[in-house]
Amino acid sequence: MGRRRLTGRTPRALVAAVLTGLLLSGFALTGTTSSRAEDPVLATATNPIRVTLTGLAPVSLTDATALSASGKISNSGLETLRDVNVRLTISTQPLPNRRSLRLGGDIGTTVETVPLYDSSKPVARALRPGAKRQYRLSAAKGTIPLPSPGVYVVGVEVTGVGASGLVILGSTHTLVPYLPEPVEPVNVTWMWPLAGWPAQSANGVLVDDKPSKEIAPGGRLDHLLSVGRTVPTLSWIVDPQLMQMTVDMADGYLVERGGGVRPGSAQQPAAAWLAGVREVLAPTKKSSGEPPDLVGLSYADPDTDALIRGGLTSDVIRATTDTAPMLDEFLGRTPDSLVAWASGGRMTTRSIDALAAAGVTAVLLRDNAMPVSGELPYTPSGYADIATEAGPVRALLVDSGLLRALTLPQGNLASILQARQRFVSELAFVALEPAPQPRYLVAAAGSVRWDPNPRLLAGIVASLRGTSWTRLVPVSTMLALPPSNVTRAFDGGNTKSRSRELSADYLDRVQQTQDDIASLRSILSRPLPVVTPLNDTLLRAESTAWRTRTKTGLMLLDSVDADIEKTVSGVYVIPRSDVTLSGDRGKIPVTVANDLGQAVTVGVRVTATPSSRLEAEPLTEVLIDAGTRASLEIPVRIVGGGALNVAVELTDGNGMAFGTAAPLELRTTAYSRAATWVAVAAAVVLVLLVIFDIVRRARGRRRASTRDSAGEPA
């Protein structure tokens, strides 16, 4: 096959090529640059043709395979283009390393390419502005220059005659592996998450309709189930909260919309989806008898680092220990292992210690959370062990290259093809690396609420089935491997993702709600039926889901507070008129009502403003049966005269105020009577003084009269 052959089909193309005067090299390829000393095609940077590549087969090459490509071109310029042809190109050498895979699509990366002239096809004699054409190209086996195994850059370029002569009008490219000989397969554990948005209140109402949309046909969870059920060796990591919510939805459910509550519309889809999950994860499979690995995720996927930092470690432990029994209840199967999915790919040492104590088998981290110490000439297996107080915990390290492939744009067929080829090319590079032992990699998305394009999933799954150098293995295989001999450094501080965690203010609100639940629990004779749904809702409010949708998390907290307030309002002090005591001591009559369906035990106390004017003896452990009222008397002593504003309030089992206090005004007649007696006494004294003065004066006059009658000088 000639490397440089003129591709113009008309005399005008030949003349245009001659008029260029030189055999110019270099051309503008999206993401690549060629050196073409023998190809008489003038490079152009304007790229008036937009090229898309939507089909490529096979996904990887051998010496016995041909190559075909298909897609569409469109004239995005302002002039008519003539003698438009399309042809395949390929890089002259494979890419040098895995890092070059992610750089290969960047502008400025230099990759020397050659055209596959035999693949050239005419598309249009004249292509007007805005016009589009389909293309389909192929290169026969044995005609593709592949000097050595590796990953090559395959492109599609369009040539034609424009205003400046024969030019390359546009191009695109992708990656394709070439493995001519058998190699040791790369073992891949693919973590397939089933987790949702836990937007369910204590009474089962969805405060957000997103779960309904995701579980319906065509929704995110429906896609994951549809594609995943075709792959027998996936490792399913399941949130028990999603199973709990789906069971509730299948029985009929309500959704909060526009300030009101309406019946949900996904009852039947929820039932069908739940049946599909149960079929896939059944304890025994009808076909092989071996079910896929079932991995338990902590209930509602708690924001572990934030919760432990906020002093809510007990919630993390509860969410983890609840997982196994709940999955057994909803799926009829105990999980094979418990794995914590680190949101953001990192987790602190404190978090891992707490999870290990709760029974977690492994934590899913990104590989850059435990980088290799030093440099290796190959990609090591993606696992390591972390020492904890409860024993070693296995870190499953998500391969960065596979993660990037899964998070590439997936909005159309062209971008889906690019992501698929990137995924298989990453694995091809690993397979071709000389390594001392078989490798085990972890493939997983960046989020437990992964939302991939189903076409990409189907394409990758089909590609893996068609390659001999990859092998899907369950997570149980990786967990059973001996400790790795590769030294990795673990950064247990996890300060990089702290800004994305649930905020301190949000967790303060959670803590306050938790205190309110504890207060309610302390007065109830049968607390579990009341507080368990509230605590479950609080766990749902602590999910990583609300890192990016805080408003929905706050709605959950609001719903818990409203439920607590509704229950608390069922136990109250019946207001009464003002109370007047006949002395400075007495008893205040109080009536406490219990409208709940169970007995409560409360305390009653009276407080005053100012507090120095009242001495009151509180009542404790007052038992009030369901639906009854209790008439009580509280001994008090009032100091000073005048009215005194007091409040009668209930207390919980910890002596803290509970519910709403009942105000009343307290008076006493003791000081008014004392004042009367003082006034009477003062009047008596005054009268006595007056009488004494009168008597004294009368005596004085009698003595004076006696002296006068005796002739004594005055």
Which parts of 362-407 fold into alpha helices (H)?
400-406
**Closest alpha carbon to 439 in 387, 388, 477, 395:** 477
Instruction: Write down the pLDDT at residue 232.
Output: 83
Instruction: Write down the pLDDT at residue 18.
Output: 30
Query: What b/e string do you get for 700-711 counting C-beta neighbours within 10 Å, with b at 16 or more?
Result: eeeeeeeeeeee
Q: How many residues does the chain have?
A: 714
As a whole number of angstroms, the distance between CA 332 and CA 312 comes to 30
Instruction: Write down the pLDDT at residue 466.
Output: 85
Which parts of 194-266 fold into alpha helices (H)?
210-215, 220-228, 240-250
As a whole number of angstroms, the distance between CA 478 and CA 480 comes to 5
**Whether residue 573 has pLDDT greater than 50:** yes
Instruction: Write down the pLDDT at residue 260.
Output: 87
Q: Which two tokens stand for residue 210?
A: 């997103």
Residue 243 β-bridge partners: none
Are the beta carbons of 648 and 573 closer than 8 angstroms? yes
Measured at the CA of 129, the angle between CA 123 and CA 132, to 5 degrees, comes to 40
Prior bond of 610 cis (ω within 30°): yes
As a whole number of angstroms, the distance between CA 496 and CA 611 comes to 51
Specify the pairing of strand 293-296 against strand 235-238. parallel
Amino acid at 487: T
Q: What is the dihedral of CA 542, 346, 104, 452, to 10 degrees?
A: -30
**Closest alpha carbon to 136 in 145, 148, 123:** 123
- Please name the residue that has the structure tokens 């507070």: 561
As a whole number of angstroms, the distance between CA 243 and CA 328 comes to 11
Specify the pairing of strand 629-638 against strand 657-668. unpaired
Give the pLDDT mean for 100-122. Answer: 76
Instruction: Write down the pLDDT at residue 258.
Output: 78
Higher pLDDT, 198 or 673: 198
**Whether residue 412 has pLDDT greater than 60:** yes
Task: Provide φ and ψ at 252, rounded to 5°.
Answer: 100, 135
199-224 pLDDT, tens digit per residue, is 999 999 999 889 999 999 999 999 99
Task: Provide φ and ψ at 328, rounded to 5°.
Answer: -65, -40
> Coil, strand, or helix at residue 705?
helix
As a whole number of angstroms, the distance between CA 676 and CA 641 comes to 13
* Close Cβ partners of 324 (under 8 Å, ≥ 6 residues apart): 296, 334, 335, 338, 359
In eight-state DSSP terms, residue 384 is: E
**Whether residue 391 has pLDDT greater than 60:** yes
Residue 8 pLDDT grade (very low, low, confident, very high; cuts 50, 70, 90) = very low
Q: Which two tokens stand for residue 281?
A: 């994860």
Instruction: Write down the pLDDT at residue 465.
Output: 85
Amino acid at 565: E
As a whole number of angstroms, the distance between CA 578 and CA 648 comes to 12
* Close Cβ partners of 658 (under 8 Å, ≥ 6 residues apart): 519, 523, 568, 571, 602, 649, 650, 651, 652
In this predicted structure, which of 254-268, 414-428, 486-500, 508-522 has the lowest mean pLDDT?
486-500
Q: Around Cβ 319, how many Cβ atoms within 10 Å?
A: 28
292-338 pLDDT, tens digit per residue, is 999 999 999 999 999 999 999 999 999 999 999 999 999 999 999 99
Tell whether domain 186-491 is in CATH 3.20.110.10. yes
As a whole number of angstroms, the distance between CA 358 and CA 613 comes to 53
Q: What is the mean pLDDT of the chain?
A: 86
Residue 694 pLDDT grade (very low, low, confident, very high; cuts 50, 70, 90) = confident
**Whether residue 262 has pLDDT greater than 60:** yes
Put residue 26 in one of left, alpha, beta given phi > 0 → left and psi -120 to 50 → alpha.
left
Sign of the CA dihedral running 251, 256, 258, 260: positive
> Coil, strand, or helix at residue 249?
helix
CATH architecture assignment, domain 571-668:
Sandwich (2.60)
Q: Which two tokens stand for residue 114?
A: 């050659």
**Closest alpha carbon to 59 in 491, 477, 418:** 418
Measured at the CA of 488, the angle between CA 337 and CA 394, to 5 degrees, comes to 10
Residue 684 pLDDT grade (very low, low, confident, very high; cuts 50, 70, 90) = low
Instruction: Write down the pLDDT at residue 40.
Output: 53
Instruction: Write down the pLDDT at residue 41.
Output: 53
Residue 561 pLDDT grade (very low, low, confident, very high; cuts 50, 70, 90) = very high
- Please name the residue that has the structure tokens 């889809």: 269
Which parts of 358-439 fold into alpha helices (H)?
400-406, 413-432
pTM of the model: 0.83
Instruction: Write down the pLDDT at residue 110.
Output: 66
**Closest alpha carbon to 394 in 338, 461, 344, 453:** 338
Give the pLDDT mean for 658-668. Answer: 88
**Closest alpha carbon to 53 in 417, 455, 409:** 417
As a whole number of angstroms, the distance between CA 414 and CA 444 comes to 22
- Please name the residue that has the structure tokens 């008397």: 633
**Closest alpha carbon to 349 in 240, 494, 167, 487:** 494
**String of DSSP letters for 113-165:** EEEEEEEEEEEEEEE-TT-EEEEEEEE-TT-S---SSEEEEEEEEEEEEETTE
Instruction: Write down the pLDDT at residue 19.
Output: 29
Q: What is the CATH number of domain 11-178?
A: 2.60.40.10
Instruction: Write down the pLDDT at residue 710.
Output: 58
Q: Which two tokens stand for residue 307?
A: 């919760």
Residue 215 β-bridge partners: none
Q: Around Cβ 518, how many Cβ atoms within 10 Å?
A: 16
489-533 pLDDT, tens digit per residue, is 998 776 666 778 999 999 999 999 999 999 999 999 999 999 999
Residue 630 β-bridge partners: 592
Which parts of 202-345 fold into alpha helices (H)?
210-215, 220-228, 240-250, 267-280, 304-309, 313-321, 323-331
Q: Which two tokens stand for residue 241?
A: 């909260």
